[in-house]
């Protein structure tokens, strides 16, 4: 990967870590940051030594303050429309089969809250705050806020956040179902990395199928969703890892499965 100016990329045991790194602008989503973030995601997606991706905001300025307001202020409607301004962000996340854990360690506002919701699992620090303040700027959420927030926390709470621009705390986000776990700021990334390592220790194709099946629940009705799930479930029977997982369980004594990731 070319030299990076807005993110930091690290490798741990089967885990790829991406830290947003524009502390001078609260990690706002400049075009460069989005380009580098999507490159890093693509790289980890294609790297067989990586099973799970962790996305966080670094230690200094929280997770992300949304679209870069300075950049956006210079865009006319026609330019934004013709360039599909920021649209590649959602498309980039849709292309990732590996699980992505988002670690929100401070503010996640506007596109930052939307970026968090593009992840598959969210951990938050006790100091985290989530909000869609676009209404205060004379615009509306544009990267999934109106669509994902309602699915995550229900209509009344989503409407309240979007129409008032007010933030919710990490504890409120956890109670509402937006966040899986809230931890002290100094522990949240460490625990998320432990979880990522645990998830990454399972069979990669099975993880991808599980992620796809869960995500399809938002697209399909129950009957079609159950059908899709059962077909993927049957498909796992064709994997070497399926045979290995069952043999390891049935062995006397029971042993740990050795995944071949195929």
Among this protein's residues, is 186 annotated catalytic? no
Q: Mask of contacts with ligand DAK, 6-25, x by CB under 6 A? A: -------------------x
Choices 62-70, 97-105, 212-220, 245-253 (CB under 6 A): range interacting with ligand DAK: 62-70
* Nearest distance from C-beta of residue 116 to ligand DAK, angstroms: 12
Which of the residues 16, 66, 114, 204 is marked catalytic? 114
Among this protein's residues, is 111 annotated catalytic? yes
Q: What separation in angstroms does the CA of 26 have from each of 59, 67, 128, 150, 240?
A: 11, 10, 13, 25, 45
The reply on whether position 99 binds ligand DAK by CB under 6 A is no
Residue 150 or 191 having the CB closest to ligand DAK = 150
Q: Which of 16, 142, 205, 245 binds ligand DAK (CB under 6 A)?
A: 142
* Nearest distance from C-beta of residue 42 to ligand DAK, angstroms: 18
Among this protein's residues, is 196 annotated catalytic? no
Among this protein's residues, is 114 annotated catalytic? yes
Closest CA to 196 of 185, 184, 188: 188
Q: Which of 11, 60, 70, 227 binds ligand DAK (CB under 6 A)?
A: 70
The reply on whether position 101 binds ligand DAK by CB under 6 A is no
Q: Which of 85, 169, 191, 225 binds ligand DAK (CB under 6 A)?
A: 85
Catalytic residues: 67, 111, 114, 134
Instruction: Write out the residues near ligand DAK by the rule CB under 6 A.
Output: 25-26, 28, 65-70, 85-87, 89-90, 107, 109-111, 114, 133-134, 137, 142-143
């Amino acid at each position: 990967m070319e030299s990076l100016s807005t993110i930091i990329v690290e490798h741990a045991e089967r885990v790829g870590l991406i830290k947003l790194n524009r502390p001078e602008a609260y990690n706002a989503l400049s075009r460069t940051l989005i380009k580098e973030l999507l490159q890093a995601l693509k790289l980890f997606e294609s790297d067989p030594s990586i099973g799970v991706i962790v996305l966080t905001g670094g230690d200094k300025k929280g997770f992300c303050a949304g679209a870069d307001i300075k950049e956006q202020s210079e865009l006319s409607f026609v330019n934004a429309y013709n360039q599909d301004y920021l649209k590649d962000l959602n498309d980039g996340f849709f292309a990732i089969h590996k699980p992505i854990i988002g670690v929100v360690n401070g503010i996640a506002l506007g596109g930052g809250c939307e970026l968090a919701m593009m992840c598959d699992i969210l951990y938050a620090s006790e100091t985290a705050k989530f909000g869609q303040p676009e209404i205060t700027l004379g615009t509306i959420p544009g990267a999934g806020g109106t669509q994902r927030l309602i699915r995550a926390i229900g209509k009344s709470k989503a409407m309240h956040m979007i129409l008032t621009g007010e933030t919710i705390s990490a504890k409120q986000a956890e109670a509402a179902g937006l966040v899986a776990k809230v931890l002290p700021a100094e522990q949240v990334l460490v625990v998320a990395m432990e979880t990522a390592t645990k998830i990454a220790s399972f069979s990669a194709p099975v993880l991808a199928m599980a992620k796809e099946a869960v995500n399809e629940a938002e697209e399909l009705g129950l009957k079609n969703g159950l059908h899709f799930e059962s077909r993927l479930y049957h498909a796992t029977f064709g994997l070497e890892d399926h045979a290995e997982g069952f043999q390891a369980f049935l062995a006397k004594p029971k042993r740990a499965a050795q995944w071949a990731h195929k």
